[in-house]
Structure 1
Amino acid sequence: MSIQDIIEGKKQWRAHVARVKALPPDYRIVYQEMQRYLFKVGPIDLLDGDLLRGILDFFEEGVAAGKGVLEVTGTDVAAFCDDLIKDSPTHADVYQESLSQ
C-alpha cells in the first residue's frame, strides 16, 4: 500500500463521515450504532467493501422519502445488521475456525 493509497483512503473516509454528519439525528445515531456493531462482529472486508457506503445510501434514500429510521431498518436494528452480513465471513467465524484447528 503506497502513501497515495493511504491519502486517498483517508479522503474517502472523511467524505463518508461528512455524509453521516449530514443525516438527521435519529438516522445518525442508528447509523453510528450499526457501524459500531459491524466493526465488532462484521465482515472481515468491512472497510474495503461497500457495506457501510450502501447503508449510508439506503439511509439517505429513507430521509429523502420522509421515512423514520425505524421504518427503514425495522425495530430490531441488530437483526437488520445480521441479515446484511449473514453470508459474509466475520471475525467471529475466523476465530472459531482457529479454535477448531
Structure 2
Amino acid sequence: MASFNKVILLGYLTETPELKKTQSGVSVTSFRIGVSRKVVKDADQKTDFINIICWRERAEFVCRNFTKGNAILVCGSLQTRSWLDNDVKRYTTEVVADEV
C-alpha cells in the first residue's frame, strides 16, 4: 500500500532562527512555529507549537530573512527521531522543511 507524508503549515515564529553547522559543515536550523486552530465546541482558538528543521541553503535563507514573530509558510514531511538521554529513550516529531 502506498503512503503519503506531506505537511503544509502557516504559522508564526516563536523565536529568531539561529544558523548552525554540523561537524561536516552542513548548515542547519531548527525552530518552532505557533499554528492556530479552531476548537469546534467553542469560538476559541488553540495554538499548537510545531518543531521545524531546515537544512543547507534553506536553513541559510530562513536565518537571513525571518525573525521572531514573522509569519512563515512551511511545506515538508513529518519525521520522528529517538535518542538516549541518561538511559531513557526520548522521541520527537518534527517537520523537515522542503519549501519555505
The two structures share one fold, judged by TM-score above 0.5: no
TM-score (norm 1): 0.19
Higher helix share: 1
Structure with the largest fraction of strand: 2
TM-score normalised by L of structure 2: 0.19
